[in-house]
């Protein structure tokens, strides 16, 4: 759901925080000898643009251009002209231009700035049509993957972002707290509490998925395809507040004896603290094993690029790109004496 509650609140996201983010990106571009930076955005890949501009792009596609030299960033979007004025009122950083061909306009800007080496966020996934139009409009330019340069700048987590993350986490937690397994008869019933808290708290996104029977599977499904609920099930809420995403998951059971163990696992997840140095996997396994719980699998997600959350570590991969000291979402599966338990939480 896209609610439209996307006005800029300078108390939540001060302009100086956005200026610092742009300065960090430009510092990284200069280090790589890049003359500019372009990020592609659509309904699923708006996170980088939102972090830089304070505006969450929605629905249609667009390009966000940052000149290394310090000119005003440009957001070229294929949305209609009638929404440009509104976008400008809720986007504190950048000039908004509506055009059916965003790459044509950005290419003209690059040519005007005499840019030659242009960094592209996630170049391998950059639409070929946009890339071709950039090359044709600004002859002689070279498109270079700038994902690492952006990720280095994105590693900066300011107080404003931490506050937004914590608010989003509270909304997601409140939604799951309203679920009563004793009075839940279908997967669709689980949407109500999550949606209610998201709306009351001003969230612009809330997606709930469910593992309908933990005795059979740990896979999360859409509620309209989940089928009947088992005695034990898990719900995961993915929620965004002001383009800041979190995930929260809890397991529920109608078995009184198992409910005690589920509560212990929930408390263990709440008590987990990420290590300041060292590897993440040993810290996770040691924490839960000390409480008599076996870790079956886990994954960690952090914002790094165009998507709001990116898998940066997990039980089946290393954690070389995990950013220690920054908030992340921990999604974990435990075995409690053979019973499956799923949970996810923002680790801030």
Question: What's the CATH number where 341 sits?
Answer: 3.90.230.10
Same domain, 164 and 290: yes
> Quick one: 231 and 150 in the same domain?
no
pLDDT, residue 187, reads 84
- Residues 328 and 341 occupy one common structural domain: yes
Domain that holds residue 242: 159-347
pTM of the predicted model as reported, rounded to 2 decimal places: 0.93
Per-run averaged pLDDT (10 residues), the chain, 348 residues: 67 96 98 98 93 87 94 91 83 92 97 96 98 97 97 96 97 95 84 90 92 96 87 96 95 96 98 93 97 97 95 90 94 97 97
One domain, residues 114 and 179: no
Same domain, 177 and 270: yes
Are 96 and 219 in the same domain? no
Tell me: do 188 and 232 sit in the same domain.
yes
Is residue 8 a part of any domain in this protein? no
Same domain, 146 and 181: no
Long-range contacts of 266-274 (CB under 8 A, 24+ apart): 266/343, 268/293, 269/330, 269/332, 269/343, 269/345, 270/345, 272/330, 272/345, 272/347, 273/347, 274/324, 274/328, 274/347
Which pLDDT value is given to residue 66? 98
CATH of the domain at 147: 3.40.350.10
């Amino acid at each position: 759901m896209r609610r439209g509650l996307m006005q800029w609140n300078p108390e939540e996201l001060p302009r100086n925080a956005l200026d610092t983010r742009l300065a960090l990106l430009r510092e990284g571009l200069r280090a790589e000898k890049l003359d500019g930076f372009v990020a592609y955005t659509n309904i699923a890949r708006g996170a980088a643009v939102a972090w830089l501009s304070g505006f969450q792009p929605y629905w249609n596609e667009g390009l966000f251009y940052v000149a290394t030299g310090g000119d005003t960033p440009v957001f070229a979007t294929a949305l209609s002209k009638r929404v440009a004025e509104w976008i400008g009122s809720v986007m504190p950083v950048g000039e908004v231009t509506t055009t059916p061909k965003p790459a044509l306009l950005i290419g003209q800007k690059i040519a005007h700035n005499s840019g030659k080496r242009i960094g592209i966020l996630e170049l391998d996934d950059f639409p070929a049509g946009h890339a071709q139009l950039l090359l044709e409009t600004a002859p002689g330019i070279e498109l270079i993957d700038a994902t690492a340069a952006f990720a280095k700048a994105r590693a900066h987590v300011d107080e404003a972002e931490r506050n937004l993350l914590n608010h989003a986490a509270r909304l997601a937690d409140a939604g799951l707290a309203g679920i009563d397994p004793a009075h839940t008869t279908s997967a669709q019933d689980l949407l109500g509490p999550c949606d209610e808290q998201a709306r009351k708290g001003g969230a612009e996104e809330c997606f709930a998925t469910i593992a309908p029977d933990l005795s059979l599977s740990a896979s999360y499904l859409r509620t309209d395809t989940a089928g009947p609920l088992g005695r034990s099930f898990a719900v995961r809420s993915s929620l965004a507040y002001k383009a800041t995403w979190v995930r929260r998951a809890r397991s529920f059971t109608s078995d009184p004896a198992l409910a005690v163990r589920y509560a212990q696992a929930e408390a263990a997840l709440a008590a987990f603290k990420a290590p300041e140095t060292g590897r993440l996997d040993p810290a996770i396994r040691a924490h839960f094993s000390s409480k008599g719980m076996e870790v079956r699998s886990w994954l960690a997600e952090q914002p790094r690029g165009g998507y709001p959350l990116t898998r940066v570590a997990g039980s089946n991969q290393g954690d070389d790109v995990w950013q220690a000291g920054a908030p992340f979402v921990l999604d974990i599966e435990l075995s409690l004496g053979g019973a499956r338990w799923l949970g996810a939480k923002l680790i801030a």
